[in-house]
Structure 1
Amino acid sequence: MRRAFGLILLALGVFAVAGAVLLPTYVYPKLAKVPLDQDSTSLLEGTASQVLAVTDNGSGPVSAIRKDAKLTATAHVQANFAAPEMHQDTDYAVWLLAVQVTDDADNTVLSASKRQVCFDRRTGEGYEPRGESDPKCDAKSSFVTELKDKADKDGQKPPETNDYKAQPGLQFKFPFGTEQQDYKVYDDNTGAAVTAKYSGTETVDGIETYKFVQDIPDTKTATKDVPGSLVGSADPTVKADLYYRGVNTLWVEPVTGIEVKQQQQQHQELRSGTGQPTVVFDGTLAFTAETVAKMADQVNANKGRLEFLSSTGPLWLGIGGGVLIIGSIVLLARRRRAEPPVAPRGKQPPRKVLFTAGP
């Protein structure tokens, strides 16, 4: 009985130790991936000391600089299941991001952008083709939509064109198991991966986060045909370069890689070379309290499971398995103390006969 019990403990111990090894090395990599089915909206609010608004009063577009505007940015992320990468057990996802910034005073759309990217579901990094014979992402799965400066006809919306190109750097989130180090994060305005430097820890909505700061230097992003009056020229239309600089601050929960909070300080100006630059945007936008709470809920729903697979589960299984194995060895090594032999039934030991001398 003791031997059987010892063997059972040994089997359970080996099973637990095997689980401690397999959870972080096999199960965790299989499950630590962003979901394919994505359809979410994030809101950012803030103010701009100066912002360009283009409106149409029926006689054509009119450009004007607005002061001290209250703004709302809506960012909608949606999975594109028509992309060839979007199949069961894929390691890559294709998501479409559309961002629109409006003036709260009259809901005027101040800017709008759209891009689609194929990225790694585990690391969050945008795919960059490097000449592989079997590329992981299709050439047309990543693009940035560009809006032409002018419509083909008056009263129509300027046509859109897709510029198919890679978008390097982290996309939408940080890696699972984010570390206290610098990361390259894709910047929508410059179309480049810019370093986000680790700058410490902060608690956001009850969640401990790593804080990253992305400082984007003055960068030329486009050349546009703009009204001469906008840049101090007497000509009806002039070419001007659009420059951008900004500071993006990201608060990331390290286990899940979710950006719990985000803040964007942006400055854009037009430079025509004929006078002082014209500031067309100078303001700060940040996640609303509702968006922060939604991100925190996502962290709370996933953090425990990821920690179990990567750390707490293997730790307790390893400890428990070790204890079981030691206990089984102790039981199997013990021997019963030797007992005196028992005579076979039916046989009696010979009797001693005492002889005494007679008189």
Structure 2
Amino acid sequence: MRRAFGLILLALGVFAVAGAVLLPTYVYPKLAKVPLDQDSTSLLEGTASQVLAVTDNGSGPVSAIRKDAKLTATAHVQANFAAPEMHQDTDYAVWLLAVQVTDDADNTVLSASKRQVCFDRRTGEGYEPRGESDPQCDAKSSFVTELKDKADKDGQKPPETNDYKAQPGLQFKFPFGTEQQDYKVYDDNTGAAVTAKYSGTETVDGIETYKFVQDIPDTKTATKDVPGSLVGSADPTVKADLYYRGVNTMWVEPVTGIEVKQQQQQHQELRTLTSSAVVFDGTLAFTAETVAKMADQVNANKGRLEFLSSTGPLWLGIGGGVLIIVAIVLLVRRPRPETPPQPRRKVLYTANT
């Protein structure tokens, strides 16, 4: 009986220890990936001391600098299942990001951008070319949509063209198991991966996060034909260089890699050889509703990921080890020899006479 019980405990212990090894090494990597199906919207709100607005009252586009504007940015992320990488068990996802910034006063669209990127579902890293022998993603799966300055005909939207190119750095989120270190994060405005420096921990909406600050230096991003009046020129149209600098701050929950909160400080100006003009200077941040939605995503996934990567293996390892030790003791320990029964002694009684 003791031997059978010991064998059962030994089998359970070995099973538990195997689970402790397989959960973090096999099960966790299978499940710690962003979902392929994505259709979400994030809102950012803020103010700009100066912002360029281009409107059309029917007689053609009119450019003007607005002061102290209240802004709303809408970022919509959607999966593109037409991309060749989007198949079952793939390690890569292809998502399309569209961002539109409007003036709350009259809903004038101040800027709009669109890009699609193929990225690693585990690390969040965007596609970087490694040659035809080791392609991570199809070359046509990552692009930035360029909007021409002028329409082909009056009254029409300027045409769009896709610039197919890699977008290196982290995309949409940080890696699962984010560490207290610096990361390269893709910046939409410069089209480059810029270092986001780790700067401590902060609690956001009840969630402990790692804070990362990305300081983007003054960078030339484009050369444009702009109305001369914008930069103090008497000419109707002049060429001007567009420069950008900014500070992006991201609060990341480390287990899931989700950005619970985000803030963007941006400054853009047009420069010619003789003058310059600020066309955007403002700050945008996640709304309280967006922060709450991100916190809900963390709460829905953090416990499961922690169990697979740390708490589950720990308790299974401890429990399995205890069961194995108990089983060995039961199997090795010899049972005590049974003491043979002692014969009864007969007692003779003698009657006194």
Q: Distance in 1 between matches of 2:66 and 2:350?
A: 138
Q: Name 2:254's counterpart in structure 1.
A: 254
The residue that corresponds to 1:236 in the other structure is 236
1:245-269 Cα offsets, whole Å, 9 max, x none, are 0000000000000000000000000
The change in CA–CA distance for 1:341 and 1:68 in structure 2 (over 3 A counts) is same
- Give deviations 1:36-67, integer Å, cap 9, x for gaps: 00000000000000000000000100000000
Structure 1 residue 130, shift from structure 2 partner: 1.3
CA distance in 1, matches of 2:202, 2:351: 108
Alpha-carbon distance in structure 1 between the residues aligned to 2:50 and 2:66: 6
- CA deviation after TM superposition for structure 1 residue 118, in Å: 0.1
CA displacement 1:287-330 (0-9 Å, x = unmatched): 00000000000000000000000000000000000000011011
Report the CA distance between 1:92 and its aligned residue.
0.1
User: Could you tell me how far apart the structure 1 residues matched to 2:165 and 2:350 are?
Assistant: 121
Change (3 A) 1:353 1:76: closer
For 1:15 and 1:249, the matched residues in 2 are separated by 45
2:209 aligns with: 209
Rounded to whole Å, the distance in 2 between the matches of 1:90 and 1:289 is 34
In structure 1, stretches of 5+ residues that fail to align are 346-350
**Shift, 1:132, TM fit:** 3.9
Deviation at 1:335, TM superposition (A): 1.5
Q: Is the 8 A contact 2:130 2:136 kept in 1?
A: no
Residue 357, structure 1, aligned to residue 351, structure 2: yes
Does the C-alpha gap of structure 1 residues 343 and 212 become closer, same or farther in structure 2, counting only changes over 3 Å?
Answer: same
Between the two proteins, the alignment pairs up a number of residues equal to 351
Give the drift of 1:338. Answer: 1.7
SS for the counterpart of 2:81 is coil
Instruction: Assess, with a 3 A threshold, how the Cα gap between structure 1 residues 356 and 323 changes in structure 2: closer, same or farther.
Output: closer
CA deviation profile, 1:133-186 (whole Å, cap 9, x unmatched): 141200000000000011101111100000000000000000000000000000
- Say if 2:92 and 2:119, in contact at 8 Å, map to a contact too: yes
Aligned to 2:141, the other structure's residue is in SS state coil
Deviation at 1:344, TM superposition (A): 15
Query: Does 2:94 match 1:94?
Result: yes
**In structure 1, how many angstroms separate the alpha carbons of the residues matched to 2:89 and 2:293?**
27
Q: Structure 2: where are the runs of 5+ without partners?
A: none
- Offset of 1:334 from its aligned partner? 1.7
Residue by residue, what CA displacement relative to the aligned partner does 1:106-151 show, whole Å, maximum 9, x if unpaired?
Answer: 0000000000000000000001011141412000000000000111
Deviation at 1:340, TM superposition (A): 5.0
Name the SS of the counterpart of 1:150 in structure 2: coil
RMSD (Å), alpha carbons: 3.1
Rate the CA distance shift 1:101–1:355 in 2: closer, same or farther, 3 A.
closer
- Corresponding residue for residue 105 of structure 1: 105
SS in 2 for 1:116: strand
Q: Where do 1:14-33 residues align within 5 Å?
A: 14-33=14-33
Q: 1:72-96: CA deviations, max 9, x gaps?
A: 0000000000000000000000000
Verify the 8 A CA contact 2:128 2:136 in the aligned structure 1: no
Question: Which stretch of the first structure deviates more once superposed, 280-289 or 334-343?
Answer: 334-343
Decide whether the 8 Å contact of 2:49 with 2:69 is kept in 1. Answer: yes
1:342 Cα deviation from its structure 2 partner: 8.2
Q: For the Cα contact (< 8 Å) 2:10–2:324, is it kept in 1? A: yes
Structure 2 partner of 1:348: none
Q: Give me the whole-angstrom Cα distance separating, in 2, the residues matched to 1:132 and 1:158.
A: 35
- Cα 1:225–1:337 change in 2 (3 A) is same
C-alpha contact (below 8 Å) 2:228/2:237 kept by paired residues? yes
- What do the CA deviations read for 1:20-49 (whole angstroms, capped 9, x no partner)? 000000000010000000000000000000
Query: In structure 1, what is the Cα distance between the partners aligned to 2:346 and 2:199?
Result: 97
**TM-score normalised by L of structure 1:** 0.94
2:178·2:255 contact (CA, 8 Å) conserved in 1?
A: yes
Per-residue deviation at 1:339? Answer: 2.7
Q: For residue 132 of structure 2, give the secondary structure of its aligned residue in structure 1.
A: coil
Q: CA distance change for structure 1 residues 339 and 287 in 2, over 3 Å: closer, same or farther? A: same
* Percent identity of equivalent pairs: 95
| Secondary structure class of the residue paired with 2:11 | helix
Distance 2:249 2:5 in 1: 58
How far apart are 1:273 and its partner, in Å?
1.3
> How many Å apart are 1:343 and its aligned residue?
12
> Quick check: 130-139 or 320-329, which moved more?
130-139
Q: Distance in 2 between matches of 1:168 and 1:115?
A: 13
In structure 2, relative to structure 1, the CA distance for the partners of 1:335 and 1:47 (3 Å cut) is same
Offset, 1:341: 6.0
